[in-house]
Structure 1
Amino acid sequence: MNESSIRSLGLKVVVAASNDENHPPENMIDGNANTFWMSTGMFPQEFIIRFAEMTNVSSVTLDSYNVKHLKVEKNTSENASHFEFVEEKELKLTEGQLQTNSISLGGSNATHLRFIITSGYDHFVAVHKIDAAASSLVV
């Protein structure tokens, strides 16, 4: 098992509650902190990412803007259903700059991770980048 960045693990965004054509969900995983996914208002907002294979995730790092409260859930099946709670975090407001937060997932095995933004500091929130400390479980 090699420690990898989330982009090298075949990551895809498979669900997003909002979709703005100028700021699509795929921007969260393109590795560029200047691009982003933006909500279209209202809470909760959520998105689900899928790994190419079962993956052990020790933590995720999220670069975001105006996110106040975030929950992370995991799934270990082939389809994105029946999620289990893993962690939640209250993020601090950072006026005029990105919020960078590392969230420990304690070595959770997952095929999918669901991120639920339950509240924000404004009507609209943005996620610029997701990365992870993760290891593929397939040899």
Structure 2
Amino acid sequence: MPLEPRILLTTASDERFPADAMLDGNMKSFFLTTGMFPHEVLLSFSDDNAPVNITKVSLVGHGIKKLRVERCTEQYATAFEPMVDCEVNASGEGGLQQETYQINKATVGQGVRYVKLVLAEGHEPFAAIHSLVFEGEKGASA
């Protein structure tokens, strides 16, 4: 089941390419970094920070080289641990990177309150995220 994340914070901001664009379902809109790495995006899944179980993370982007997806199970976004840590192949000129990561909901996917997406390095000076989708279930216990 698709989860509905909301963006709490980003380390890059350009009103022409807002962070919310990565969640809007429109592949023509996108979030664009402002150069220099790393960049981080902090997300939660509910207003009351109720935990969820995550089973899959899907991302469509461009120019991303090193990517981390980290989770926090605490009430406040203070301590993060990795769920995904990988290098992403270059997409070729004008192409998009399509990545899907299966997450073990019984271990690192369980009881997630916050997710931090870290674009650690880029293949180019700027990176873009066209789509970011989390799948799993709401109402998980922490």
Following superposition, the deviation at residue 13 of structure 1 comes to 0.5
Aligned-partner Cα distance in 2 for 1:82–1:116: 14
Aligned-partner Cα distance in 1 for 2:43–2:98: 19
- Relative to the length of structure 1, the TM-score reads 0.89
Which letter does structure 1 place at the counterpart of 2:28? N
Unaligned runs of 5+ in 1: none
Aligned to 1:46: 40
Cα displacement string for residues 94-116 of structure 1 (whole angstroms, at most 9, x for unaligned residues): 12121110122211121111111
After the TM superposition, which of the residue ranges 13-22 and 78-87 deviates more from structure 2?
78-87
- Relative to the length of structure 2, the TM-score reads 0.88
Following superposition, the deviation at residue 138 of structure 1 comes to 5.3
Which letter does structure 2 place at the counterpart of 1:104? Q
Identity of aligned residues (%): 26
Aligned residues: 133
RMSD: 1.4
Cα displacement string for residues 2-52 of structure 1 (whole angstroms, at most 9, x for unaligned residues): xx2133xxx210111101010111111111111111000001111011111
Aligned-partner Cα distance in 1 for 2:39–2:103: 20
Which letter does structure 2 place at the counterpart of 1:94? S
Aligned-partner Cα distance in 1 for 2:6–2:139: 17
Structure 1 residue runs of 4 or more that deviate by more than 3 Å after TM superposition: none
Aligned to 1:87: 84
